[in-house]
Amino acid sequence: MGWKERKATRKKVASDRIKELLKFSELHKDDELLSTNSIKTAVAISRRHKIRIPIKSKRKFCKKCSTVFIPDKTVRIRTGKGKITYTCLNCGHIKRIPYLKEKKEVKNKKLEI
Ligand SMILES: [Zn+2]
């Protein structure tokens, strides 16, 4: 096996492991220690192998303290001004995500002009 294939295999194994860990944290989100630890491990693997964690999954936990987001329990979600604001109730970290829908509309408007 050449190094390129070996690298591909390694990345595949690593990304499968990340997916498993994310799923695991989702299943055990009520267990703070267990879910936080699996998120931390997933993030560590993603960094080591330079693999991106899917955006969908990224929105499910706090980047700063790795707490799995449970609405009204570990996170406060607010919408407004074209953004969704996630406030981590564990560490206070704020994450803002712009509405994709509006972005697309802006793009279309630009095209019309
Ligand atoms: Zn946090």
Ordered per-residue pLDDT tens for the chain, 113 residues: 687 888 899 999 999 999 999 999 999 999 999 999 999 999 999 999 999 999 889 999 999 999 999 999 999 999 988 899 999 999 999 999 887 665 555 566 666 55
Q: How far is the CA of 61 from the centre of ligand 1 (A)?
A: 8
Q: Confirm or deny that 62 is annotated as ligand binding.
A: yes
Q: Is 76 annotated as a binding residue?
A: no
Distance between Cα 91 and ligand 1 center (Å): 4
Residues 6+ apart with CB under 8 A from 10: 49
Lookup: tokens for 3? 């190094």
Q: Answer whether 100's CB lies under 8 Å from 84's CB.
A: no
**Cα(69)–Cα(26) distance, rounded to whole angstroms?**
9
User: Is the CB of residue 102 less than 8 Å from the CB of residue 81?
Assistant: no
- Ligand-binding annotation for 91, yes or no, is yes
Q: Which of 60, 61, 51 is nearest to 15 (CA)?
A: 51
CA dist., res. 106 & res. 93, Å (int): 29
**What is the pTM for the complete model shown?**
0.80
